[in-house]
Amino acid sequence: MLSYLLKVMLIYSLVFTGIFHLVRTTKSIESYKRSATYATLYLVATFLATQAVRFSLGWVDIPDGRYLMIAFAGYYLGFWPVVALISLMLSVTALVLPYRLAGLLVIQVTLGLIFYVFGRRYYRKHKQIHHREMLVAVLLIVVIPLVLSNVFFPNDNYVSLANENLAIIVFTTYVIVFTVLKSVNSEIERVQYLVQMEEDKSVLQHQNDEIMALNEEMYATEETLRENYDELERYKNRVEHYAFHDAKTGFYNSDYLLNMLHAKMNAKELKPYKLLAINICDLDDYREKLGQMLFEMLHYQVGTVLQSVIENEDQQKYITLFVVTYGQYAMLSEGCDRDELNRLLHLAYEKLQRLEIIDEVNLNITISVGGVEVENTDMKPEEQLEYAEAASLEAACQTGAIKRHHEIYWFYADLLEAKKFKTKLSIDLKHNLNLREFYVVYQPQYNVNHQIVSAEALLRWRHPELGEISPAVFVALAEKQGVIHKLGAFVQEQAMEMQKEMMIRHPNTPLRPIAINVSLIELMDSDYFDDLIQRLEDYQVPPQAIALEITESSVYNQLEDVLINIRRLNEAGVAIHLDDFGTGYASISHLNLFPLSVIKIDKTFIDHVANTTQQKTKTVVFSMIDMAHRLSLPVVAEGVETKAQFDALKEMGCDLFQGYYFSRPIRSEEWSERG
């Protein structure tokens, strides 16, 4: 019994070992063809090895496990491996027991096909190998043929039913043991799997912690980047703000103005607009008197006044203020006509008259405004601003209605040529001054008997390229360029040289005084008196031979500064003539304040003195002459051009006359001849 049991266990152990290896191997083979071929050959080899062991040991009464191999072949590999294995087994069996071939063939083929169908359906349903169910099914397949073999062949010595039953018992025991071991092994694997899972979980937790730390770091980095981005945005906004705003005032600057003008020029349809240039008059004087800090405050306050005027207007008029530079502003308007803009600027002027930078110190700010109208794309933005600036500068030079009513001086085509003309003269005066281009002419002054009693020295400039230049143009430019002292000294020297020549040529004839125009800038010079007296001594000319003509408007602007020099000159014997009387600020007070010798009535009054429809003008002129006579001051009428004017003035008691009616200005040679 024990011997039989050991034999069965040996044979079936051999079979199971081969099958187990077969299962492990075929699971790693991806190709079905390869795995089927391998399994067939392996099962055949296992069967042959089993048979070889049985026959070599004489164990023919021991079950050979063929049904078990058939079951595995059908379960794992399909139809053809089963057919091949059955054919092989039949062949071997036929060699041993030929008479049982037919019955075995039917039984084995039938059982193989049944198991094949059962195994394939089960496998397709579950898609995996469940070893416990598989072993039970295999056990049933093994029991069935043993029972049938005993039924059909009860007297056969090949297989004993008792032995087969013992084999079944042994095999069942083996299956149970194998199943238990497999369960234990499965549990061990499960425990190992759980341990591995814990380890993996620990690794994953560590990785998760690292990921969380990295995520927090990334979040912190993101926050930093967001803060940096916000800071960059704020910096960008500040840069854009300062790029288009004046740093001192916060108003739009000239760069933003040019950007807007370029945008308008590039638009599909140009909407007409007006560009104004606004300048504070006497800007350099304010800068010098106030100092930089108060001057910047003045610059801001003037801009604030202009902005307040704009803000009170209808928003549909689209008026924008810009700062060009210190004391210079620009205004862009799309919806205002000329009258509306003049009204706005007049309001601004009224506010500026009341502007106080320092408490209770009224500066009487005045502005000059020039404008250009843009209706097409012919002018570039830079040219538009240049033209408006040219018009503003021209407005500052005006003395008529534009100056009195503070109106806008509008640009016109010839103004640009005039600007270029003045620029050329300014450059030549400042950098290329050549006194040889200047000369002095004398306009005689006559009494009522048409006798010459004095003259006025007038400076003339013959430019080598531009020809004769009017004194009304170059004198103001000379003052701005700082060369008026040189020109004034030149006139004094020419007049003194003429008087010296007249003294030599006519020693017994009293000298007829020559009046010289003097600029406010010269009078403000503390050295002016000493320089003039020194020239008189150098030319050996008495002070009575020279008179100085001053304009009351210029003297009134700097009254205290020039009064000292005027009094010193008068005390030295130099006569003081008040020019353009009646056109200034306080004519009557000047008559009493200055040590005057002569007053000259301005040509604007003389032009209408003979007009019968201008009775008020005649009354004013008569009053001025009478007032001067009451103060024992002789009166000179300027610009007498007709006999009617001369007769009217003579009738009013005017003393001296000067104008084209008597003589045009003459050269020094002719004046010397008349002397």
Alpha-carbon radius of gyration of the chain? 64
Q: Quick check: is 290 in a domain?
A: yes
Question: pLDDT tens, 590-642?
Answer: 677 788 999 999 888 898 898 877 888 889 899 999 999 998 999 999 999 99
Q: Are residues 488 and 520 in the same domain?
A: yes
Query: What DSSP string runs through 219-240?
Result: HHHHHHHHHHHHHHHHHHHHHH
Identify the H or E element spanning 549: strand 546-551
Mean pLDDT of 458-480: 90
| pLDDT score at 45 | 66
Give dist(CA 78, CA 75) in Å, integer. Answer: 7
Q: What SS3 string covers 72-141? A: HHHHHHCHHHHHHHHHHHHHHHHHHCHHHHHHHHHHHHHHHHHHHHHHHHHHHHHCCCCHHHHHHHHHHH
| pLDDT score at 64 | 57
> Kind of pairing, strands 328-333 and 273-280?
antiparallel
Q: Is the pLDDT of residue 559 over 50?
A: yes
Question: pLDDT tens, 136-192?
Answer: 555 454 445 544 444 444 444 444 433 434 444 444 444 444 444 555 556 666 767
Residue 460 pairs in a beta bridge with: 439
Question: Of 393, 408, 426, which residue constitutes the final position of a domain?
Answer: 426
Q: Are residues 369 and 506 in the same domain?
A: no
Mean pLDDT of 426-438: 89
Q: Are residues 40 and 118 in the same domain?
A: no
Residue 334 pairs in a beta bridge with: none
Residue 636 pairs in a beta bridge with: 600, 656
Sheet of 409-410, strands arranged across: 252-253, 319-325, 328-333, 273-280, 367-374, 409-410
Q: Are residues 473 and 392 in the same domain?
A: no
Q: Quick check: is 316 in a domain?
A: yes
Q: Is the pLDDT of residue 557 over 70?
A: no
pLDDT tier, 520 (very low <50, low <70, confident <90, very high otherwise): confident
Between residues 34 and 471, which one has the greater pLDDT? Answer: 471
Q: Are residues 382 and 410 in the same domain?
A: yes
Q: Are residues 461 and 405 in the same domain?
A: no
Q: Are residues 126 and 270 in the same domain?
A: no
Q: Quick check: is 67 in a domain?
A: no
Residue 134 one-letter amino acid: M
Question: Of 202, 227, 244, which residue constitutes the final position of a domain?
Answer: 244
Nearest to 15 by CA among 84, 80, 83, 85: 85
Q: Are residues 216 and 283 in the same domain?
A: no
Give dist(CA 236, CA 231) in Å, integer. Answer: 8
Q: Quick check: is 2 in a domain?
A: no
Q: Is the pLDDT of residue 658 over 60?
A: yes
| pLDDT score at 57 | 65
Q: Is the pLDDT of residue 207 over 70?
A: yes
Specify the number of domains making up the chain: 4
Residue 576 one-letter amino acid: I
User: Residues in the chain, how many?
Assistant: 675
Give dist(CA 605, CA 621) in Å, integer. Answer: 7
| pLDDT score at 217 | 81
Max mean pLDDT range (223-227, 339-343, 656-660): 656-660
Q: Is the pLDDT of residue 48 over 80?
A: no
Look up the CATH number of the domain holding residue 609. Answer: 3.20.20.450
Nearest to 138 by CA among 66, 60, 233, 71: 71
Helix%, strand%, coil% for the chain, nearest 5: 65, 15, 20
Give dist(CA 272, CA 377) in Å, integer. Answer: 10
Q: Quick check: is 93 in a domain?
A: yes
Give dist(CA 301, CA 310) in Å, integer. Answer: 14
Residue 87 φ then ψ, to 5°: -60, -45
Question: CB-based contacts of 580: which residues, under 8 Å, 6+ apart?
Answer: 551, 552, 553, 600, 602, 638
35 contacts 77 by C-beta, under 8 angstroms? yes
Q: Quick check: is 66 in a domain?
A: no
Q: Are residues 140 and 25 in the same domain?
A: no
How many CB atoms lie under 10 A from the CB of residue 163?
16
Give dist(CA 535, CA 540) in Å, integer. Answer: 8
In Å, how far are 159, 198, 503, 547 from 509, measured between CA atoms?
A: 184, 136, 8, 18
| pLDDT score at 576 | 93
Q: Are residues 210 and 235 in the same domain?
A: yes
Structure tokens at 196: 């591995």
Residue 482 one-letter amino acid: G
Q: Quick check: is 152 in a domain?
A: yes
| pLDDT score at 586 | 44
408 contacts 395 by C-beta, under 8 angstroms? yes
Q: Is the pLDDT of residue 36 over 80?
A: no
Look up the CATH number of the domain holding residue 253. Answer: 3.30.70.270
302 contacts 327 by C-beta, under 8 angstroms? yes
> Kind of pairing, strands 546-551 and 514-517?
parallel
Q: Are residues 115 and 212 in the same domain?
A: yes
Give dist(CA 430, CA 480) in Å, integer. Answer: 9
Provide the sign of the torsion angle of the four alpha carbons 285, 291, 296, 300, taken in this order: negative
Residue 21 one-letter amino acid: H
Q: Are residues 508 and 605 in the same domain?
A: yes
Give dist(CA 521, CA 503) in Å, integer. Answer: 31
Give the global pTM: 0.52
Q: Quick check: is 576 in a domain?
A: yes
Specify the residue for token string 């266990």: 9
- Collect contacts of 209-218 with beta carbons under 8 A, ≥24 apart: none
State which residues form the domain around 123: 78-244
Provide the sign of the torsion angle of the four alpha carbons 260, 266, 271, 276, taken in this order: positive
Q: Is the pLDDT of residue 228 over 60?
A: yes
> Kind of pairing, strands 598-601 and 452-463?
unpaired
Query: If you ran DSSP here, which 8-state letter would residue 674 be given?
Result: H
Nearest to 517 by CA among 480, 479, 482, 481: 479
Structure tokens at 422: 């003045």
